[in-house]
Structure 1
Amino acid sequence: MSSVGQRALLAWHVHGSWMQALVAGEHRYLIPVNAAKDADGRGLLGRDWPQAREVDADRLRDEDIDLVILQRPEEIELTERWTGRRPGVDVPAVFVEHNAPRPLAVDSVHPLAERSDIPVVHVTDFNRLMWDNGKAPTMVIDHGIADPGMRYRGDIAAAATMINEPLRRWRTVGTDLLAPLGARVPIDVWGIGTPALAERDWPGVHAQGDVPGPQLWQDVARRRVFLHTARWTSLGLSLLEAMFLGMPVVAVASTMAPLVVPAEAGVVSADVETLASALEGFVSDPSAARAAGKAARDFAVAHFSLDRFLRDWDRLIDDCCR
């Protein structure tokens, strides 16, 4: 077992942005890699994470592991097969639940609901409330991201949004809302798979492709307002990034969004006409947009800092490893 303070943590590379925040801590992060480099062994995927290192799946049995950070149900079996240790029995483990429950909003039973030996760590209060967690111990550790800085310029009178795979995920991420909203204000859309939006030929909706940060942040922050269309996802890091950049927000009132966009930072509504009017209002009033953007940034810095995220995780890691 590692010395107190620095622990050896086994975690799969599942969600890149969340993982980037986790590996910014002081621990040693063991990232499984296999020959296929498939979902069970992606490794680092070229990421520059100094505290993390790839470990071949067939060598994990030789590694000292203080805590397993599970993110998918199948990783329970993978851990036992690759390390020879049972999560929650032979080695401490936690399960990070990144998603809102599906397919049912309130009646979905969590895969670990019958286990009391592996705590479930939700990333939002909404998710913990809506999942049926059974007898699993639960807690919430809110997202944290490295502050990209106040970059808002708002010199382009358009809305920006970030949606990965908009056609495949469709109503879940609110892609269908782009057409009626784009008819009122121009909307630039960044993300994986966004060039396919050209097939729809929606007036006012312009696909910008998958652009890496910090160039992405520079481009997005030139738009007057940020649009968050998701109906049923967990709290999107793109929304938090936009708030950190100092952008005013117009968001669909679903899942956690109403609780992280204060009234002074933008408009949250379930009415499409209200969303469209809010977009028009910010696009036509740069001073109001700047004021709301400042409030958005202040809230994000206060609630979603990387330092707070790492402190919360350090407390949990120490509790689990005692």
Structure 2
Amino acid sequence: MAFSQTNRRSVLIWHVHGSWMDSFVVGGHRYLIPVDTPHDPDGRGLCGRDWPTAQEIRMDELRDQDIDLVVLQRPHELELTARLSGRRPGIDVPAVYVEHNTPRPFVVESPHPIGERDDIPLIHVTDYNRLMWDNGRAPTMVITHGVADPGHLYTGDVAAAGAVIDEPLRRGRTVGADLLGQFGDAATVDVWGIGAEGLNDPLHRRPGVIGHGSLPTDLLMKELAHRRVYLHTARWTSLDVPLLEAMFLGMPVVAVASTMAPLVVPPEAGVVSADLDTLRAALSGLVADRYLAEVVGTAARDYATEHFGLDRFLQEWEQVIQAQCAPGP
């Protein structure tokens, strides 16, 4: 997708969610990514990612940078931006807030951290999230995920399920890590993600569940494409990008019916249910029938490419960026 260089903006944004950033930073602007020596959560920088239009900026250099827009993703970034850049988001510099998560700590009664402000648009990544958060006075909109098409790589030659779960031991029931053992009784489950290797620890090991740790996106896509089914276990997370990426690959899906999953996995693309027996039967059935898995996976890919393409995502973000950076009346 081509963008006019005359409308190229300098966007300050922290590296918080790598998979979402993979899509966001190809929008044709100049993306300023804070970095510090510890490479802690406020200074991760690029983390080795290949983002040609992104530039690492040391924390102590932010005051000297031209910044057209701040994209906030965590509550403390309001104070962090003001302290490091000398500019208050929404007052001295245009800002938007991207909410990646479902409400916490309460399902329907959690006020959003910027809900009392009407000068910073609140952008949710799913309709479900916007519905469930108490958004207060903040102007809201939804820009759903956009995924760069990895191609129809599915082979399904490994008779096992693949899953991507970051920090399954720490996040526990939230990501459905406690369910993995029950699914492992129905089929082998290979799990990738940050800290997933901890599932192999004797204290946490479950029959049929194998943790493989984290991989770069391109290698992860190749590994997933060999597995016959994608398994999505999360109870209370937003819409995981790896679920969409698996659908792009052409993988059939077996998913816990929670948050946005029932709305993005149509019946022809897999099985979504809150009944574990139904999910276990679907998992074992798809793993056993390679032809059926391929047909269902093709339907999953068709749906994903129609609804979660990268061009649509970038076009919607371009409209937001230019609107926020336009001169005031």
Deviates more, 1:243-252 or 1:30-39: 30-39
Aligned alpha-carbon RMSD (Å): 1.4
Structure 2 counterpart of 1:263, which letter? P
Question: Which residue of 1 is the match for residue 218 of structure 2?
Answer: 214
Q: CA, structure 1 residues 204+144, in 2 after alignment: closer, same or farther (shift >3 Å)? A: same
* Aligned partner of 2:64 among 52, 62, 65: 62
Structure 2: distance between partners of 1:203 and 1:272? 17
2:157 aligned with 1:155, yes or no? yes
Structure 1: distance between partners of 2:302 and 2:146? 14
How far 1:3 moved relative to its partner? 6.9
How far 1:45 moved relative to its partner? 1.9
Q: Over residues 255-281 of structure 1, what are the superposed CA-to-partner deviations in whole Å (9 max), with x where a residue is unaligned?
A: 100010011000000000000011122
* Aligned partner of 1:249 among 239, 246, 253: 253
How far 1:114 moved relative to its partner? 0.3
Structure 2 counterpart of 1:65, which letter? I
How far 1:108 moved relative to its partner? 0.5
The percent of aligned pairs where both chains have the same amino acid is: 63
Structure 2 counterpart of 1:131, which letter? W
Q: Over residues 60-117 of structure 1, what are the superposed CA-to-partner deviations in whole Å (9 max), with x where a residue is unaligned?
A: 2222111110111111111111221111111110001110001111001000010000
Secondary structure of the residue aligned to 1:69 is strand
* Aligned partner of 1:168 among 165, 170, 174: 170
How far 1:158 moved relative to its partner? 1.4
Structure 2: distance between partners of 1:229 and 1:183? 15
Structure 1: distance between partners of 2:157 and 2:263? 28
Secondary structure of the residue aligned to 2:104 is coil
How far 1:295 moved relative to its partner? 0.7
Q: Over residues 225-270 of structure 1, what are the superposed CA-to-partner deviations in whole Å (9 max), with x where a residue is unaligned?
A: 1110000001011101100100000000001000100110000000
Q: CA, structure 1 residues 45+209, in 2 after alignment: closer, same or farther (shift >3 Å)? A: closer
Question: Which residue of 1 is the match for residue 49 of structure 2?
Answer: 47
Structure 1 counterpart of 2:74, which letter? R
* Aligned partner of 1:288 among 292, 297, 304: 292
Secondary structure of the residue aligned to 2:31 is strand
Deviates more, 1:262-271 or 1:188-197: 188-197
Question: Which residue of 1 is the match for residue 269 of structure 2?
Answer: 265
Deviates more, 1:265-274 or 1:38-47: 38-47
Question: Which residue of 1 is the match for residue 148 of structure 2?
Answer: 146
Structure 2: distance between partners of 1:49 and 1:213? 13
Question: Which residue of 2 is the match for residue 300 of structure 1?
Answer: 304
Q: Over residues 26-61 of structure 1, what are the superposed CA-to-partner deviations in whole Å (9 max), with x where a residue is unaligned?
A: 111111123433222222222221111112222222
How far 1:286 moved relative to its partner? 1.5
Relative to the length of structure 2, the TM-score reads 0.94
Q: Over residues 136-180 of structure 1, what are the superposed CA-to-partner deviations in whole Å (9 max), with x where a residue is unaligned?
A: 000111111211110111112111111111111111110111111
How far 1:213 moved relative to its partner? 2.9
Q: Counterparts in 2 of 1:1-322, with a 5 A limit?
A: 4-198=6-200, 199=202, 200-322=204-326
Gaps of 5+ in 2: none
Gaps of 5+ in 1: none
Structure 2: distance between partners of 1:148 and 1:3? 27
How far 1:184 moved relative to its partner? 1.4
Structure 2 counterpart of 1:116, which letter? D
How far 1:120 moved relative to its partner? 0.5
Structure 2: distance between partners of 1:219 and 1:43? 27
Structure 1: distance between partners of 2:208 and 2:131? 38
- How many residue pairs align between the two structures? 321
Structure 2: distance between partners of 1:282 and 1:3? 48
How far 1:209 moved relative to its partner? 2.5
